[in-house]
Amino acid sequence: MKKIINTANAPAPIGPYNQAVLTGNTLYISGQIPMDPQTGNLIEGDIKAETRQSMENLKAILEEAGTTFSNVVKATIFVKDMHQFAEINEVYGAYFNADTAPARETVEVANLPKFVNVEISMIAVL
């Protein structure tokens, strides 16, 4: 059985998917792009600000599911330019500590939805 998780504090899906799905004690969070959920505008031009918005969107979904970043076990970061990895990693790292950081991969891709520079998805265990 699965439970759909959606919050107004993260961007509404832009396709046939949900922000997150909880099945058993595992939460699967769809990739979050740097979109302001209040205005629908993209955050552009500063990869740190873009990453921060993506992480804040993830945080809102985690909170809606009743959990935090400390329960994230896996993250995937998609980037358009691996040369921006250090800046992305700096912002991403601020949301975790060494004891709670999840497994992760970072992948450079040709394009992302709405042609953003970063998208991050996560899996958490509650």
Residue 14 pLDDT: 86
Give the domain extent around 83: 2-125
Q: What is the pLDDT of residue 126?
A: 96
With a threshold of 0.75, does the pTM exceed it?
yes
Cα separation, 36 vs 54, whole angstroms: 9
Q: pLDDT by residue (tens digit) across 101-125?
A: 999 999 999 999 999 999 999 999 9
Report how far residue 57's alpha carbon sits from residue 102's, in angstroms, rounded to the nearest whole number: 17
Per-residue model confidence as pLDDT tens digits over 69-112: 999 999 999 999 999 999 999 999 999 998 989 999 999 999 99
Q: What's the number of domains the chain is made of? A: 1
Q: Are strands 26-32 and 118-125 parallel, antiparallel or unpaired?
A: antiparallel
Q: Walk across the sheet containing 2-5 and list its strands.
A: 2-5, 20-23, 26-32, 118-125, 72-79, 103-108
Residue 79 belongs to a domain with what CATH number? Answer: 3.30.1330.40
Instruction: Give the residue-averaged pLDDT of 37-65.
Output: 98
Q: How far apart are CA 35 and CA 117, in angstroms?
A: 11
